[in-house]
Amino acid sequence: MSNEVLKKSIERGTASVGVVGLGYVGAPLAELACMSGFQVEGIDPYIESPPEPLSSHERFRHTRDFEGVSRCDVLVLCVPTPLTARETPDMSYVEEAVRGVAGAVASTGRGGRPLLVVLESTSYPGTTREVVLPPLERAGMKPGNDLYLAYAPERIDPGRSGHDLAEIPRVVGGIDADSGDLADAFYTRLGCAVHRASSPEVAEMSKLLENVFRAVNIALVNEMSLLCRRMGIDVWQVVEAAATKPFGFMSFKPGPGMGGHCIPVDPFYLAWRAKQYDFNPEFIELAGKINRRMPHHVLDWVAEALDSTGKSISGSRVLVIGVAYKEGVSDTRESPALKVIELLAGRGAIVSYHDSLVPSVEAGGTAYSSRELTEETLGDADCILLMTAHPDLELEMLRGSGLPLVDTRNALG
């Protein structure tokens, strides 16, 4: 099959697509590919079975090894890119996935049949060319001959409604024009508008710019909220007023810190890479510092709230509302609530929590289970700390409790 034949089969939806890694990113992508007519191979050794409705889709098959690579014309890598304990990029998942693909290619040979490989995982500029390409070349594949390679970052924002996967434009950067064309054809077939970047590095950097932009602006509004508090000004009213400007301003909300596994993590990928170029990215570091300090400020706010009833943190029962990193999701990765719970417990508070989406959680080495939000639970508390307000949260109940309340999200207005 030539590159032109591969392109046609992608455009018609008759190509076989492999999705490597079936998590938050890979599973919805695999589902969209099935719905776009592709035969889809989900390759993920670490899960028993993928989520519904994907697992029962007739065009979908889950395999726990890389044997399915031999059947694929397109492979999309959606594996994790976390940080190591030393806050440097942990490329082990990408490396392992690429090793799996290369191993399958080397053992089956593919007979020169072309393969389009797309990396979707967030990573530093250079990853596609320096981490993904070499093992595939060592397996005998040749760019421009039987290997096409591109980077196309996933840009989904979990919990944000109104932006389905296919509605978010795709940035696509190929290692050469044919790779870009094929990846463009693939995402176009999925129903996405495609923005062509001139290289994978441009596409990789654009994803990091998006996330650094968020991290920096969240840090800015968090610092504003600290200053406003000191000056006795309501920061929420300030943001609301500024947001009426029809141009040149974008509204970000203050909060108890930064969570999820993208915004707190991705800027470090760029900072790490920048240092290899003898460049110190000061905005990124400062934003990280401010956002990471927020849970400590929350502790001060709880102490102040308890003060008003003559109590101190030590020995007080603090009911934390919401431990997910943001409203509407069950994800607790990097959630500032976990840090706050750890800090409160470290200061002698008796901490419990309620989160309708998170039944149990571990914070600072201690396991906690969610409590129902009842009169009894509220009666058991000296203070309420609202960290995350899911849409189903019964705000009236909190309002009516008469307890000192720290509302880090302005959910109660």
262 noted as active-site residue: yes
- Quick one: which of 10, 17, 18, 21 contacts ligand NAD (CB under 6 A)? 21
Total residues contacting ligand NAD by CB under 6 A comes to 27
Q: Which residue is nearest to ligand NAD (CB)?
A: 23
The span of 31-39, 41-49, 192-200, 394-402 binding ligand NAD (CB under 6 A) equals 41-49
- Quick one: which of 15, 33, 69, 79 contacts ligand NAD (CB under 6 A)? 79
Do the bridges between strand 366-369 and strand 405-407 make them parallel or antiparallel, or are there none, so unpaired?
unpaired
Tell me how far apart the alpha carbons of residues 224 and 228 are, in angstroms, rounded to a whole number. 6
- Quick one: which of 10, 19, 20, 91 contacts ligand NAD (CB under 6 A)? 20
Residue length, the chain? 413
- Backbone dihedral region for residue 398 (phi beyond 0: left; psi -120 to 50: alpha; all else: beta): alpha
- Quick one: which of 31, 146, 154, 407 contacts ligand NAD (CB under 6 A)? 154
- Quick one: which of 22, 136, 294, 384 contacts ligand NAD (CB under 6 A)? 22
46, 48, 54, 58 alpha-carbon torsion, rounded to 10°: 120
> Contact between 156 and ligand NAD (CB under 6 A)?
yes
Tell me how far apart the alpha carbons of residues 61 and 43 are, in angstroms, rounded to a whole number. 9
> Contact between 81 and ligand NAD (CB under 6 A)?
yes
User: What minimum distance in Å lies between the beta carbon of 85 and ligand NAD?
Assistant: 18
- CB nearer ligand NAD, residue 106 or residue 224: 106
Give pairs for 230-237: CB < 8 Å, separation 24+: 236/410
- CB nearer ligand NAD, residue 45 or residue 112: 45
Q: What is the footprint of ligand NAD within residues 112-141 (CB under 6 A)?
A: 120-122
> Contact between 172 and ligand NAD (CB under 6 A)?
no
> Contact between 46 and ligand NAD (CB under 6 A)?
yes
Q: Name every residue whose Cβ is closer than 8 Å to that of residue 399 and which is 6 or more positions away in sequence.
A: 412
User: What minimum distance in Å lies between the beta carbon of 82 and ligand NAD?
Assistant: 8
- Quick one: which of 182, 203, 218, 262 contacts ligand NAD (CB under 6 A)? 262
User: What minimum distance in Å lies between the beta carbon of 171 and ligand NAD?
Assistant: 12
User: What minimum distance in Å lies between the beta carbon of 202 and ligand NAD?
Assistant: 17
> Contact between 272 and ligand NAD (CB under 6 A)?
no
Q: Which of 78, 192, 228, 262 is catalytic?
A: 262
- CB nearer ligand NAD, residue 100 or residue 256: 100
Structure token pair of residue 317: 């029962």
- CB nearer ligand NAD, residue 96 or residue 392: 96
User: What minimum distance in Å lies between the beta carbon of 22 and ligand NAD?
Assistant: 5
> Contact between 302 and ligand NAD (CB under 6 A)?
no
> Contact between 271 and ligand NAD (CB under 6 A)?
no
Structure token pair of residue 310: 């003559």
In the complex, the residues that contact ligand NAD under the rule CB under 6 A are 20-26, 43-47, 78-81, 93, 96-97, 100, 120-122, 154, 156, 158, 262
Return the active site residues.
Answer: 262
